[in-house]
């Protein structure tokens, strides 16, 4: 990935490490669901104007996502897009998820985010790549 992105009016290098969990930490993110989640995250990012560099499921109950975004998109918008759209689509496409979850929510309402400087970018990539995606 190029260190700097050239926008129309600015040059930037804004990266985030975002982590969010399944509601009640249920271990419902099987291999099949995880693969679909990866596709959805990339589709959402492309449609909304940011980039998902890496995304992995850890321990079948949480998601690590490395995002690069322009300064015009806030981190709250990014998280809202990723969690909101992916959660709704996964619940539609995999109705069996509702057996472990109720009230129509796949994701916990909170999330963790940290900014990533260029010096720690490789470390975060390796960390996300090492996340286990054990099957249920």
In the sheet with 112-115, reading across from the earlier edge strand, the strands are 51-58, 62-68, 15-21, 112-115
Tell me the pLDDT tens digit for each residue of 58-113: 999 999 999 999 999 999 999 999 999 999 999 999 999 998 897 889 999 999 99
Selected catalytic residue, list 12, 16, 111, 127: 127
| Domains along the chain with CATH numbers | 5-128 (3.30.70.1290)
- Output the pLDDT for position 103: 82
Q: What is the reported pLDDT for 135?
A: 43
Q: Please state, rounded to an integer, the average pLDDT across all residues of the chain.
A: 91
Q: Which helix (H) or strand (E) holds 34?
A: helix 31-48
Structure tokens at 76: 């709250």
Whether 127 sits among the annotated catalytic residues: the reply is yes
At residue 134, the pLDDT reads: 42
Q: pTM for this structure?
A: 0.86
Burial class (CB in 10 A: 0-12, 13-18, 19+), 102: exposed
């Amino acid at each position: 990935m190029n260190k700097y992105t050239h926008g129309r009016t600015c040059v930037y290098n804004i990266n985030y490490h975002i982590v969010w969990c399944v509601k009640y930490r249920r271990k419902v993110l099987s291999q099949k669901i995880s693969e679909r989640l990866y596709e959805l995250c990339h589709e959402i990012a492309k449609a909304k104007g940011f980039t998902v560099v890496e995304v992995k499921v850890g321990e079948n109950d949480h998601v690590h996502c490395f995002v690069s975004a322009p300064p015009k998109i806030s981190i709250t918008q990014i998280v809202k897009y990723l969690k909101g759209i992916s959660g709704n689509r996964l619940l539609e496409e995999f109705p069996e998820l509702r057996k472990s979850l109720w009230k129509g929510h796949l994701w916990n309402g909170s999330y963790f985010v940290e900014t990533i400087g260029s010096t720690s970018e490789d470390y975060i990539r390796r960390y996300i790549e090492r996340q286990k995606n054990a099957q249920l």
